[in-house]
Amino acid sequence: IIKVYAKTIYHGDDTLRTILVHRDITKEYEVDQMKSEFVSTVSHELRTPLASVLGFTELLLNKELKPERKMKYLQTIYNEANRLTLLINDFLDVQRMESGKQTYEKKYVDLYPIIETAIEHQKVNTTLHHFALQSDVHQSIIFGDKSKLEQVFTNLLSNSIKYSPNGGNVTVRINENPEFVFIEFEDEGLGIPNDAIPHLFQKFYRVDNSDHRRIGGTGLGLAIVEEIVKASGGKITVESEYGKGSVFKLEFPRVITRELTKQSEGISS
């Protein structure tokens, strides 16, 4: 986008001249677009859980309720408040990443138990999905930030559930060769149209069709995932067939066991 404007300049000989200045404002325009997108996404996404918190609090305050019903409402308020916290954390994470202020711990991390735990946590959120963990290895050690890697697996697993609204199998595979640990998250959900795949890891990007739009989200989860994977020296790719399901594939440089024998303590799992 080129902005053209007239500028009048004085010359030493007291004459005036008007010149036309061309300036490329594509970057500014993109930043503006991004800001307004951010504001509308934030307001929309925060409003929904907040409305639930307010609504259920009002019910609790105004009505004589049976203890079981009270507990149910309180549980909903707790879940929605948790959702708000996670959303705000995502916004803060993205902001820290943008400004280069995100910090990453570098420690030996065993991925297998982290994935196992992340799957167990997800099981609580669904009765429609069936999870399988397939692996030949029981120790897949890389060098990275444990809590950030937990966030990667949680985001990918929760997307597999969220974008498989009719349920289905979620299969996680962990394998390795001498150099890399490979992890796949496969679902049998909505799938992703081919033309959307190159944009998937961009901030705020959401697949623009009614099936996907019906499901709430900010379009930040995968941007955060990619950033953490890259910061751990890894790579993420996706393969998908629209209407059939998706596979998110991760690869991380493996820490060779020989290196570990020199420093056998300090593996977080």
> Interface with ligand ADP by CB under 6 A: which residues?
159-160, 163, 187, 189-192, 200, 205-207, 212, 217-223, 246
- By beta-carbon proximity to ligand ADP, the closer residue of 109 and 207 is 207
For ligand ADP, which is the closer residue by CB, 102 or 218? 218
Laid out side by side, the sheet with 141-144 consists of 141-144, 107-110, 267-268
Q: Which is nearer to ligand ADP, 105 or 208 (CB)?
A: 208
CA 80, distance to chain mean position in Å, is: 18
Cβ at position 137, least distance to ligand ADP in Å: 24
CB 224 within 8 A of CB 77: no
Between residues 83 and 254, which has the closer beta carbon with respect to ligand ADP? 83
Q: Specify the length of the chain in residues.
A: 269
Nearer to ligand ADP, 97 or 190 (CB): 190
Which residues lie closer than 8 Å to 30 by C-beta, 6 or more apart?
none
Residue 180 beta carbon to ligand ADP: minimum distance, rounded to whole angstroms: 22
**Closest separation between CB of residue 72 and ligand ADP, Å?**
27
- Say if residues 58 and 77 touch (Cβ distance below 8 Å): no
Q: Which H or E run contains 120?
A: helix 111-123
Angle at 13 between CA 8 and CA 16, to 5 degrees: 20
* Closest distance to ligand ADP from the beta carbon of 8 (Å): 48
Q: How far is the CB of 168 from ligand ADP (least distance, A)?
A: 11
